[in-house]
Amino acid sequence: MAVTTPVRWMNSNWRAQMFGGSESKPMMNPPITSSPWPAAFARHRPDCDWCFASCRIRPAGQDPKRFERHASGKAAGALVVDPDGRPRLIRACATVLATGGLGHLFRYTTNGEHATGDGLAMALAIGACAAALEFIQFHPTALKIDADPLPLLTEALRGAGATLVTGRGVPVMSGRHMFGDLAPRDVVARAVWEHAQAGESVLLDATAIFRSTKGTAFPGARALAQCYGIDPAVKALPVTAAAHYHMGGVLVDTAGRTSVPGLWACGEVAYTGLHGANRLASNSLLEAIVCGQGVGKAIAARRSRLRPFVHARDSDTSTVTSIATRWDHMRDRLWQAMGPVRDAGTLESALAATAAERDSLEPGSRILRNRYSLAIEMLTAALTREESRGAHWRADFPQRDAQRDGPRAVYSR
């Protein structure tokens, strides 16, 4: 499997179109590592007994609670809950983790309600190695309306001439970057965040676009605005930064193997290193196709089809209501501490509060405990990285630490 220079597909009809954060030529993102595949991949044992995937991790109508691990240390399948609330143990000689991202851990996100990082949290709970947990990309122009998740407004609007302004009409990106409103996504997201933190509303003024023939290129954005009672040809659109994509995840090799024998991962839940410190838009689709196919081929090539035997242990006894109530507070906390701009004081306070709440959970709250543990790992990773790199920005360490370039830039857990 060969991976070459990232390519950006602009839109469905292949028209060349300027995006916010792009130049007239292909653009590379700030790397975490100096090569497409982290050096950590070489540390995986070559003699593990990888087996054929005999089932999906998320059968229709079933939610995984945790992974089961055999006495030998191999992943043995998953404990799920069926639509009637009954726990079921699905044994598998190979379990593929393809559960997506974790954007819904944040108050504002473009990710769906199931993107709560549960797959990553379950993998961490059985000792899987992870990396780059602090690298979360924030989309700068989610439509700020009463919805969860928030719909996003394409950055191509700014490429076509839309501008970001405050409620008082002050240009948001003035003096912040040489490309102004077309600055890289993380730069724009920080600017939007900082104005919002200061109590100012931020608007995307695309009125000139929608009053002209240019507006015909954005039927989706027009329909979206009108759906919420806004005529984009008359009024500017309220926007906010929002959690959009996680560059970190479960550490995998080029075949999708994790550090836990029998457990594989692909897609956003996996850390391949291909997105560096700041994912280039749409490359995640390419990664999912290429790496997902690689996982399937690698598993199918294995000879063993034996399913390990394991006894199901106690299931999760927490209720949906208790999870939703507690996690609602956690989403606010992570948004403030792990948002586009971070600092030691806020991270430390959030870390202490999260650890205390996790320790106070009832024994049966496995899903919630796993989510709290994931949040703790993310906060710890952000606190440990005392520099600014890509989508990770520390107000108290605003410079990139050149001594951490290359393989040393990756903090693995």
Lookup result for tokens 């191509």: 156
Quick one: 179 exposed, middle or buried, by C-beta within 10 A (0-12, 13-18, 19+)?
A: middle
Q: Say how many Å lie between the first and final Cα of the chain, rounded.
A: 26
CA distances from 339 to 13, 86, 135, 336, 353 (A): 34, 37, 10, 6, 17
Q: With contact defined as beta carbons under 8 Å apart, do 367 and 323 qualify?
A: yes
CA 266 to chain centroid, in Å, comes to: 13
Q: What are the structure tokens assigned to 275, written together?
A: 């997105």
147 contacts: CB under 8 Å, gap ≥ 6: none
Quick one: 44 exposed, middle or buried, by C-beta within 10 A (0-12, 13-18, 19+)?
A: middle
Query: Catalytic: 331?
Result: no
CA distances from 296 to 12, 44, 120, 124, 299 (A): 27, 19, 19, 22, 5
Report d(CA 375, CA 121) in Å as an integer.
9
Q: With contact defined as beta carbons under 8 Å apart, do 373 and 358 qualify?
A: yes
Report d(CA 20, CA 306) in Å as an integer.
50
DSSP 3-state of 42: helix
Residue from 107, 185, 333, 389 carrying the catalytic annotation: 185
Report d(CA 10, CA 17) in Å as an integer.
6
How many residues in the chain? 413
Going through 144-248 in order, the beta strands assigned E by DSSP cover 163-166, 202-205, 237-246
**C-beta atoms surrounding 34 within 10 Å:** 12
Lookup result for tokens 């995840």: 249
Q: What is the DSSP letter of 342?
A: B
Q: With contact defined as beta carbons under 8 Å apart, do 264 and 55 qualify?
A: no
Report d(CA 159, CA 178) in Å as an integer.
15
Report d(CA 212, CA 369) in Å as an integer.
52
DSSP 3-state of 327: helix
Residues labelled catalytic: 185
